[in-house]
């Protein structure tokens, strides 16, 4: 049986945390009197915390000092973390567990490729950390998506080539990163937003095992 590397993004792919990131940024934007919509939020998906703040400040045409930015980054993260206090496996998105199980049963490699610095505690709280043969998160890379570093590093840790990897992503930046890395990009979300992906699914419940099997055999 072929061994492929399946690399999962975290926020908005494995767990429904994209909404918490949005709420936390929205709270900060409100305090700074910046209009911040769900449409603006698409640009923040997949990118680092620091870059996200810069995008919001650009929207509000605010020129902030390093100290102010540091304060707001901490503030945003504290609000975000407050949503995670009671987090458990119920937060795992529909269809994710059967796919993880199927990949394990078929001896496939599984990695996490996330921009988040909060990734490990989330995998622990949701009790799925043991599924991952490699974890690369925001603490491990210096270049955020759309740079391919996070995915290339995951493939490297799995001792496999980039062309052997498949990436599940809900963000435009993440799909672009996977494409630059020459990996098979699979968008989880809306066609209109993720059109650069090689394949797109609304969510994991609409992806069947035959599709995964075909990827393994490729």
Q: How many amino acids of this chain bind Mg ion (CB under 5 A)?
A: 5
Which residue number, 76 or 216, has a Cβ lying nearer to ligand BG6?
A: 76
Report, in Å, the least distance between residue 175 CB and ligand BG6: 12
125 binds ligand BG6 (CB under 6 A): no
Radius of gyration of the chain (CA): 17
Burial class (CB in 10 A: 0-12, 13-18, 19+), 171: buried
178 binds ligand BG6 (CB under 6 A): no
Q: How far apart are CA 186 and CA 169, in angstroms?
A: 6
Is residue 210 part of the annotated active site? The answer reads no
Is residue 208 part of the annotated active site? The answer reads no
46 binds ligand BG6 (CB under 6 A): yes
Contact (Cβ atoms closer than 8 angstroms) between residue 158 and residue 136: no
Report, in Å, the least distance between residue 109 CB and ligand BG6: 21
Q: How far apart are CA 104 and CA 93, in angstroms?
A: 18
Q: Are strands 199-201 and 184-188 parallel, antiparallel or unpaired?
A: parallel
Q: How far apart are CA 65 and CA 60, in angstroms?
A: 15
Which residue number, 37 or 107, has a Cβ lying nearer to ligand BG6?
A: 37
Give me the 7-36 binding string for Mg ion, x by CB under 5 A, dash otherwise. Answer: --x-xx------------------------
21 binds ligand BG6 (CB under 6 A): yes
Q: Which residues contact 6 (CB under 8 A, 6 or more apart)?
A: 103, 108, 109, 110, 111, 165, 166, 168
126 binds ligand BG6 (CB under 6 A): no
Residue 49 contact among ligand BG6, Mg ion, none, beta carbon within 5 to 8 Å by kind: ligand BG6
Instruction: Give bridge partners of residue 186 from the DSSP assignment.
Output: 168, 199
User: Stretches 44-52, 54-62, 90-98, 188-196: which one binds ligand BG6 (CB under 6 A)?
Assistant: 44-52
* Nearest alpha-carbon partner for 123 in 105, 107, 142, 110: 110
Q: How many amino acids of this chain bind ligand BG6 (CB under 6 A)?
A: 17
Indicate which residue of 11, 88, 203, 208 is catalytic: 11
Q: How far apart are CA 181 and CA 134, in angstroms?
A: 17
Which residues of the shown chain bind ligand BG6 in the complex (CB under 6 A)?
Answer: 10-11, 21, 44-46, 48-49, 52, 77, 114-118, 138, 171
Which residues of the shown chain bind Mg ion in the complex (CB under 5 A)?
Answer: 9, 11-12, 170-171
């Amino acid at each position: 049986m072929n061994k492929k590397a399946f690399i999962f993004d975290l926020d908005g792919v494995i767990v429904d945390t994209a909404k918490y990131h949005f709420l936390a940024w929205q709270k900060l934007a409100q305090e700074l009197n910046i209009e911040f919509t769900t449409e603006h939020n698409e640009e923040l998906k997949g990118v680092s915390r620091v870059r996200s703040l810069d995008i919001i400040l650009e929207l509000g045409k605010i020129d902030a000092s390093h100290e102010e930015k540091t304060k707001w980054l901490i503030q945003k993260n504290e609000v975000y973390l407050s949503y995670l206090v009671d987090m458990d496996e119920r937060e795992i998105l529909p269809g994710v567990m059967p796919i993880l199980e199927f990949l394990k049963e078929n001896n496939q490699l599984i990695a996490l490729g996330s921009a988040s610095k909060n990734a490990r505690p989330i995998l622990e709280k949701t009790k799925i950390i043991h599924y991952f043969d490699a974890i690369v998160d925001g603490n491990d890379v210096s270049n955020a998506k759309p740079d391919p570093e996070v995915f290339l590093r995951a493939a490297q840790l799995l001792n496999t080539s980039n062309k052997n990897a498949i990436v599940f992503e809900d963000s435009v930046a993440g799909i672009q990163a996977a494409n630059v890395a020459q990996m098979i990009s699979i968008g989880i979300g809306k066609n209109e937003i993720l059109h650069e992906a090689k394949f797109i699914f609304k969510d994991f419940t609409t992806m069947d095992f035959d599709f995964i099997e075909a990827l393994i055999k490729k």
